[in-house]
């Protein structure tokens, strides 16, 4: 099966990340309530530094730092608390590694501004600018990278009867409209990665539709990011109720997505994802860096 490969992603400062090969985005949760307990960072600085060092040793291509859980039904925290959680983590990561790209997982413009100043390279926004209209203006002014994600509803309401007539076609239309809006706001397409938002206002059938038809988004000309790691639909498909037992199922879905041309994968376990991706690349004669 041939795979259509995506191009570069422009990050802060004009830096380019080659997305014509698979990329592992490691999840770093500076939160006390993320759905997967094993991904939560310690609050004590020494223990937290050791955890971050271990993540870096796993060889991720990107680090995604978040200070607010966005699991279904989660309550929001204010920007001040989110800042308190994420800025020290980004500063610590920059002391440990000055080069690895960092995304800040937030929909608050205030948090994004501080994270970028602390060393982040891109904003990963679950709301496409809907939860804080100032975020689009900030991203345009800061000339950073941007993850444009689709979500139906909000984290509090998104799994309360989400509905689509044709999920992947509707989200494709959303991407087309939003890319045009971002361009009008001064955010070039080269700075944008597309995430269809698996599990964010999606039923089981919707998630499977977005996986089956992932290739249909590629002719929009931007790299695709999927976050399927340990999610509920994998538990439902596999029969595994415990999140930590869904790693094999996660890798199976990522393998299918790689075959569809999805090159950026947001995961809780970067080491196992890296091993699987190396095998996938090796079987296709794709060399590493």
Q: Which residues are catalytic?
A: 231, 266
Task: Output the six-digit token pair for 210.
Answer: 């977005």
Whole-model pTM: value is: 0.93
CA angle 244/84/12 to nearest 5° reads 85
Task: Check whether 256 has a pLDDT greater than 70.
Answer: yes
User: Both tokens of residue 131?
Assistant: 């939860």
Which candidate, 224, 176, 198, 212, places its Cα nearest to that of 5? 224
- Tell me: pLDDT of 31 over 90: no
The whole-number average pLDDT for the span 138-144 is 96
**Which of the 8 DSSP states describes residue 106?**
-
**d(Cα 195, Cα 265) in Å, to the nearest integer?**
10
Q: What is the pLDDT of residues 103-120, one digit of tens each?
A: 999 999 999 999 999 999
Inter-residue contact 268 to 231 (CB < 8 Å): no
Mean of all residue pLDDT scores within the chain: 91
Average pLDDT over every residue of 210-221:
96
According to DSSP, the β-strands at 23-29 and 62-66 are parallel
- pLDDT grade for 34, boundaries at 50, 70 and 90: low
Does domain 18-283 sit in CATH 3.20.20.20? yes
The domains of the chain are located at 18-283
CA-to-CA distance for 195 and 223, rounded, in angstroms? 9
């Amino acid at each position: 099966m041939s795979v259509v490969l995506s191009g570069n992603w422009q990050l802060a400062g004009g830096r380019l990340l080659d997305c014509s090969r698979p990329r592992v985005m490691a999840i770093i949760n500076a939160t006390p309530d993320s759905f997967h307990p094993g991904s939560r960072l310690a609050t004590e600085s020494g223990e937290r530094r050791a955890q971050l060092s271990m993540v870096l040793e796993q060889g991720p291509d990107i680090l995604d730092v978040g200070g607010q859980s966005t699991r279904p039904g989660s309550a929001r925290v204010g920007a001040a608390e989110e800042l308190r959680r994420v800025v020290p983590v980004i500063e610590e990561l920059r002391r440990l590694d000055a080069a690895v790209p960092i995304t800040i997982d937030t929909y608050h413009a205030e948090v994004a501004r501080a994270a970028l100043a602390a060393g982040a390279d891109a904003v990963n926004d679950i709301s496409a600018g809907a939860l804080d209209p100032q975020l689009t203006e900030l991203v345009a002014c800061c000339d950073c990278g941007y993850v444009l994600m689709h979500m139906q509803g909000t984290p509090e309401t998104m799994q309360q009867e989400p509905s689509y007539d044709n999920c992947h076609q509707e989200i494709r239309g959303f991407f087309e409209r939003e890319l045009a809006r971002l361009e009008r706001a001064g955010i070039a397409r080269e700075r944008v990665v597309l995430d269809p938002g698996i599990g964010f206002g999606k039923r089981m059938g919707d998630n499977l539709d977005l996986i089956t038809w992932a290739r249909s988004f590629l002719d929009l000309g931007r790299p695709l990011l999927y976050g399927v790691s340990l999610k509920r639909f994998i538990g439902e498909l596999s029969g595994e109720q415990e999140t930590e037992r869904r790693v094999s199922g996660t890798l199976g879905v990522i393998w299918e997505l790689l075959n569809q041309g999805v090159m950026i994968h947001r995961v809780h376990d970067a080491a196992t994802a890296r091993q699987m991706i190396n095998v996938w690349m090796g079987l296709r004669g794709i060399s590493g860096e």
